[in-house]
Structure 1
Amino acid sequence: MLFQVRMDVNIPLDMPVETATEIKAREKAYSQELQRQGKWRHIWRITGQYSNISIFDVESNEELHNILQGLPLYPYMNMEVMALNRHPSSVREDDS
């Protein structure tokens, strides 16, 4: 199942820099491992914002939910999740 997820990050301004740096390092490691596994297909920055658009390829809604809740920055994010389905007018045989 493919999902588009928009993630907007809002780290509190009063969070100590060392704490924010440590959380971001854990976030990077976690997301890169999911990318290597093929679960986190794509990630793009949104210009001028601390936000991204990502594409996930997971087995179920529950798997995506668990992945997103596992993000170290999850407590500081607003997310918008959209399920994706193949369009019948696509010229591609797959989702490449």
Structure 2
Amino acid sequence: MLFLVRMDVQVPHDLPADAFEEIKAREKAYSQDLQRQGKWQALYRVVGEYANYSVFDVESNDELHTLLSALPLFRYMKLHVTPLAKHPSSIR
């Protein structure tokens, strides 16, 4: 199942810089592992925002929820999930 996910990160201003750097390092490692597994198919930054669009290929809604809620930055994110289906005019 394919999903388009917009992730908007809203980090509290009072979060210590060293704690934020540690969270970002864990986030990067986790996201890259999911990309290597083929579950996180694409990751695009939104220009001028602390946000991204990502494409996930997972078995179920529950699997997507589990993966997203395990993101180290999850507690600071606003997420919008859109299920995707193959378009009949797509050549891929």
TM-score bracket for this pair, using the shorter chain length? over 0.9
TM-score after normalising by structure 1 = 0.94
1:78 partner SS: strand
Residue matched to 1:11: 11
2:49 partner SS: coil
Residue matched to 1:62: 62
Residue matched to 2:34: 34
Residue matched to 2:80: 80
Give the residue type in structure 2 aligned to 1:43: L
- The 2-side partners of 1:91 and 1:36 are apart by 25
- The 2-side partners of 1:91 and 1:56 are apart by 20
- 5+ long unaligned stretches in structure 1: none
> How many residues are matched?
92
- The 2-side partners of 1:75 and 1:69 are apart by 8
Root mean square deviation, CA, Å: 0.5
- The 2-side partners of 1:57 and 1:90 are apart by 17
- 5+ long unaligned stretches in structure 2: none
Percent identity between the two aligned chains: 61
